Amino acid sequence: MLCSSGSLPRVIADPITLRSHRSLGLVATRPNPMPSALLRPTAAAAAFCRLGLRSSPPPRSPILPLSAARLSSYCGGAMDGCGHSTVLVLAGKSPQEDDLARFLKSRSDTLKLLDEEAGEVRVLLRSDAYHPTFDSQFYMGALTASRFGRLLIWSPRLPSTHDLVSKNFGELPVGTVCVTDVQIKGRGRAKNVWESPMGCLLFSFTLQMEDGRKLPLLQYVVSLAVTEAIKELCQTNGLPQLDIRIKWPNDLYLNGLKVGGILCTSTYRSKHFNVCAGIGLNLDNEKPTACLNAVLKEINSGSLCLRREDILASFFNKFENLFEVFLDQGFQSLEELYYKTWLHSGQKVVIEEKQEGQPEESIIVTVQGLTSSGYLLAVGEDDKSYELHPDGNSFDFFKGLVRRKLE
């Protein structure tokens, strides 16, 4: 997009820099060429749309508890890095979600990963697996949300939680969450692909919206829900507050270093936007930069730390309330809280503009907030208002901004 003078500027100075793209303990790899088409709804989705579903699932064979070794073999070497199958363990908050979990298991071909490296997909129930590393029972006990997070899919290793929920959107109830311990093809901005080791909370969930004008602002609601959830957890457990801040548009920072990121994608179908929101949060990887629990240990003499299950449940409890406010009253009702949490109020950004045949010109603008379309609102030295857009080429949004004059 062109700026007001018809040039394509880029930011050359920014006091908030991205110290390391590995700050989540992640490694960027080649873009993922997999298609993003959604599967069509099937009987499983139709059944759960009638939440009064009480029909009996097909008869099941007796279940034998799995040993840890047997679960590892089911995962096709998910714990040793080589294998030919992927395990998905399903758990529900209520008998209704448990019914759907059993239905999905009975249809062994229902959930697909569409990834060559995933191999065969094995669907299990919570009662089938021996002590997964994610305690779904503890998580469900802390979850109070009535719409989100009530059907959980956990896997020890996945190509991408985002791909799983997006490619199976029609098979799963809205609000389904997928969690994994290790992710080898996580999705990022501009088709970046991320490898994520143990020690992170990695999850994606689904939702629907009708108003496309609000859609660009959804990522800010998700970011705010993460920061508010962690704030409440620390307060409830008597822990010192972690000063987690939002770096526009979709990064989470702690003590000046990146500890998390958010990605929201959508498709339009039947007058609804089908949205998949993905979150990565570094809890325990102290290298190469920072993680939540390491910072907690530095400022707290106790042994308490944040658990993935606690954070995930608290996130959905917060997000459900914020999302309702967002849909009913718009993002304006959340702006004050959002601006208290983000990094950019009053931030000065130097933009370099160059027109053909003209010398390069440095222009300083000051960030004031967000525009109604979700971009940065800034005021120039000429006291005129500008909307700042990313140019789409830079890894860090603040390394490439285009200013557009507002009338």
Q: What is the pLDDT of residues 338-380, one digit of tens each?
A: 999 999 999 999 887 777 777 778 889 999 999 999 999 999 9
- Specify the pTM: 0.79
Confidence (pLDDT) at 51: 34
- Please say if the pLDDT value at position 120 is more than 50: yes
- Please say if the pLDDT value at position 40 is more than 90: no
- Inter-axis angle of helices 218-236 and 308-329, nearest 10: 130
Q: What is the pLDDT of residues 178-215, one digit of tens each?
A: 999 999 865 555 455 455 678 999 999 999 999 999 99
Torsion angle (degrees, nearest 10) of CA 270, 211, 216, 176: -60
Mean pLDDT computed over 149-171: 94
| pLDDT higher at 129 or 44 | 129
Q: Which residues make Cβ contacts (< 8 Å) with residue 306, sequence separation at least 6?
A: 230, 233, 234, 239, 283, 292, 293, 296
Confidence (pLDDT) at 114: 60
Mean pLDDT computed over 214-228: 97
Task: Write down the mean pLDDT value for the chain.
Answer: 78
Instruction: Tell me which DSSP letter residue 308 carries.
Output: H
Confidence (pLDDT) at 203: 97
116 pLDDT tier (thresholds 50, 70, 90): low
Instruction: Tell me which DSSP letter residue 88 carries.
Output: E
User: How many C-beta neighbours within 10 Å does residue 150 have?
Assistant: 21
- Using a 10 angstrom Cβ sphere, with 0-12 exposed, 13-18 middle and 19 or more buried, the burial of residue 221 is buried
Q: Which residues make Cβ contacts (< 8 Å) with residue 80, sequence separation at least 6?
A: 72
Instruction: Tell me which DSSP letter residue 149 carries.
Output: S
Query: Which residue type sits at 336?
Result: E
Which among 20, 4, 12 is positioned nearest to 398, based on CA atoms? 12
Q: Report H helices in 201-307.
A: 218-236, 292-299
Cα gap 98→92, rounded to integer Å: 5
Confidence (pLDDT) at 398: 80
Mean pLDDT computed over 244-263: 94
Check if the beta carbon of residue 201 is closer than 8 Å to that of residue 308.
yes
What residue segments make up the domains of the chain, in order of their start? Answer: 86-341, 347-404
- Please say if the pLDDT value at position 133 is more than 60: yes
**Half-sphere exposure of residue 129: CA atoms within 13 angstroms, side-chain side:** 26
Q: Which residues make Cβ contacts (< 8 Å) with residue 71, sequence separation at least 6?
A: 87, 129, 130, 132, 156
| CATH tag, 86-341 | 3.30.930.10
- Using a 10 angstrom Cβ sphere, with 0-12 exposed, 13-18 middle and 19 or more buried, the burial of residue 169 is buried
- Tokens describing residue 399: 């390394």
DSSP output for 20-74: -TTTTS-EEESPP----PPPPP-HHHHHHHSTT--PPPPP-PPP-PPPHHHHHHH
Instruction: Tell me which DSSP letter residue 238 carries.
Output: T
- Tokens describing residue 298: 């530095």
